[in-house]
Amino acid sequence: MKKGCKYGTHRVIEPVGVLPQPANKIDNNMDVLYDNEILIDVHTLNIDSASFTQIEGQAAGDEKKIAEIMLDIVEKQGKHRNPVTGSGGMLIGTVEKIGPALDGKTELKVGDKIATLVSLSLTPLRIDKIKEIRKDIDQVDIEGKAILFESGIYAVLPKDMPEKLALSALDVAGAPAQTAKLVKPGDTVFIIGGGGKSGVLCAYEAKRRAGVTGKVIGCCGSPKSADRLMKLGFCDEVFVGNAKMPVEIMNKVAEYTNGQMADITINCVNIPDTEMTSILATKNTGLVYFFSMATSFTKAALGAEGVGSDVTMMIGNGYTKGHAEITLQILRDSEKLRELFTEMYA
């Protein structure tokens, strides 16, 4: 059996020498398993929100065209990395084979159902058939195979909640877990895209961490989303606004904070051009957490410079220690969130 690199460089076809995520093409031949790989029988893909929104727009909502676009991405790259957004998503499936080099290094067993916590943009993937596309929740049921590298992280699916419910939460596990680390008692937290999947989880954690002396403000793109967020009760203020209109949003946040602005702004939207909204809503000594995969580093960095803002900006790393456990526990602790996620995703 061939020996593989811990980080999966042995699967990279072009350009040689780079890691799988930035690679243009990787080997998705599932007939040959390297000694440190895990072969997964894939059930469902949870496409990153920014990626699915772009694909759905390109296909004008037509499910057949969405399927064609997805199959074309995998055919050309050996993985599902959206060529426009650069993002992927994650999957759930059943462990089919485990390379011998992982003996004693993993607790996984053949037959375990897992959610991969690494992006589809670096995961070797083969799609044999697209069975169902659920546009409202960015999930696609397939027949296919995938490879998890030795360095790849995962979560064994919990037995106390449906698979698709766990998948929908684990897909954005980094956001609420990072929020738990960032927010301190007394902080004013502003969440852009507060009514979405990652937004409501962040709102829950922000309110819990900021406490009675803090404030949580949510901005939603539609009245329906705002109503949903308000009913959850995690935000002190909720309003409807266009996240692409930075001055308009800045003025609303100034109104709710008596001109003090937010200590922490969390960007959870799935559309581009919201960098300056995040920056202007945040005080100079504050922090902006860009969880959105539609964020442009160039627009954020040069935009902050252009308005003389000294905010600290944090890229939304989808991983932080214990993020899967933290996020699943939120669904166990909050009956309101579990009911919402069950209704929308399970």
pLDDT reported for residue 151: 95
pLDDT tens across 13-46, in order? 999 999 999 999 999 999 999 999 999 999 999 9
Q: How many CA atoms lie within 13 A of 329 on its CB side?
A: 9
Specify the 3-state DSSP secondary structure of 111.
coil
pLDDT tens across 119-169, in order? 999 999 999 999 999 999 999 999 999 999 999 999 999 989 988 889 889
For residue 320, the 8-state DSSP code is -
Specify the 3-state DSSP secondary structure of 282.
strand
pLDDT reported for residue 91: 95
Tokens representing 318 are 């989808």
Kindly give, in sequence order, each residue whose CB lies less than 8 Å from that of residue 44, ignoring residues fewer than 6 positions away: 91, 92, 93, 139, 140, 141, 142, 163, 164, 167
pLDDT reported for residue 320: 87
List the one residue out of 131, 148, 128, 147 whose CA is nearest residue 139: 131
Residue with tokens 């902050």: 304
Do residues 136 and 164 make contact, with C-beta atoms less than 8 angstroms apart? no
Domain assignments of the chain as residue spans, ordered by start: 9-157, 174-345
- Which residues on neighbouring strands pair with residue 64, listed in sequence order? none
| 34 vs 99: CA distance, rounded Å | 7
Tokens representing 315 are 């890229």
104, pLDDT greater than 90: no
Residue with tokens 């309003």: 239
Distance of CA 180 to the CA centre of its chain: 16
pLDDT band at 344 (very low <50, low <70, confident <90, very high): confident
Tokens representing 147 are 């490879």
Do residues 97 and 34 make contact, with C-beta atoms less than 8 angstroms apart? no
What is the average pLDDT across 209-215? 97
pLDDT reported for residue 345: 80
Question: For domain 174-345, is the CATH number 3.40.50.720?
Answer: yes
- Which residues on neighbouring strands pair with residue 98, listed in sequence order? 38
| 329 vs 165: CA distance, rounded Å | 13
338, pLDDT greater than 80: yes
Q: Is 24 exposed, middle or buried (0-12, 13-18, 19+ CB in 10 A)?
A: middle
Distance of CA 70 to the CA centre of its chain: 18
pLDDT reported for residue 189: 98
pLDDT reported for residue 331: 95
The answer to whether the predicted template modeling score (pTM) of the entire model surpasses 0.75 is yes
pLDDT tens across 37-76, in order? 999 999 999 999 889 999 999 999 999 999 999 999 999 9
pLDDT tens across 294-336, in order? 899 999 999 999 999 999 999 988 888 899 999 999 999 999 9
Do residues 214 and 340 make contact, with C-beta atoms less than 8 angstroms apart? no
pLDDT tens across 232-264, in order? 999 999 999 999 999 999 999 999 999 999 999
